[in-house]
Amino acid sequence: MITTYEKDQTLQKNIVFLFVGIWVCAIIGFHFTYTINFPKFKGFQWEQHFHGTMLMSWFAMLIIQPLLIRFNKRNIHRNLGKISYVLAPLVCYSVFLVSRMVYYREITTRPLDSVLGQLSLDIPTIFIFGLFFALAMINRKDAAVHMRYMIATSLLMLGPGLGRALMIFGGIPFPVAVTIVIYISEIIAALFLINDIRKGNNFKPFLTITIILILNQLCWTFQSASWWQSIASWFVSHTF
């Protein structure tokens, strides 16, 4: 019997190109809003530097790990993967820190409901990233499922870089750019889902990922709704 692992050989060998592509989007998108200010970084807070460091570290993990598999360095892959148990929570914490920083910065100049609405980009990301990582680790002995949830973590990282690139180079308004990148991440997940169904692979991981990304979009779409405002207000009052 041909296993899902054997069916996934092409995906396992080539998924690094997706990770590199998302990383390049991040580099381009953040260049004109962040790295161009090197080395002084005037006006930036330590939370932003910490956040950037954690995201770049996660990108490094995503890119290196499939290469180790590709070149049959599985022991190194497993040992390096142990770092993710520390790195993933730090990524979530860095998102939280930046969210809190932006909240207190924006609340002095914008209406409360608007600032709480913008948190629909951050609060869900913290929990969804953590969920995808947890599912990847729970299924670490099933290479195919593990890989799919690690791919999911990268899709959450597509938006910030690509969104900024669309705004800077395309002149696209912030809300429209956010909506576009959310749709793109959903489309990528849906394409992976369709591919799994077509090849007879286990389609449950990407079905789960696609549904969760759609739920994430609902938070953004209905950020002005009373239910989201209540969630964001509770989160702010209990954690910020």
CA distance 33 to 206: 33
pTM of this structure: 0.92
CA distance 217 to 235: 18
DSSP assigned state of 82? T
Model confidence pLDDT, tens digit, residues 153-187: 999 999 999 999 999 999 999 999 999 999 999 99
CA distance 240 to 235: 8
Distance of CA 154 to the CA centre of its chain: 5
Report angle CA 74, 85, 10 to the nearest 5 degrees. Answer: 40
Nearest to 22 by CA among 62, 54, 70: 62
Model confidence pLDDT, tens digit, residues 13-30: 789 999 999 999 999 999
pLDDT band at 6 (very low <50, low <70, confident <90, very high): low
Model confidence pLDDT, tens digit, residues 182-233: 999 999 999 999 999 999 999 999 999 999 999 999 999 999 999 999 999 9
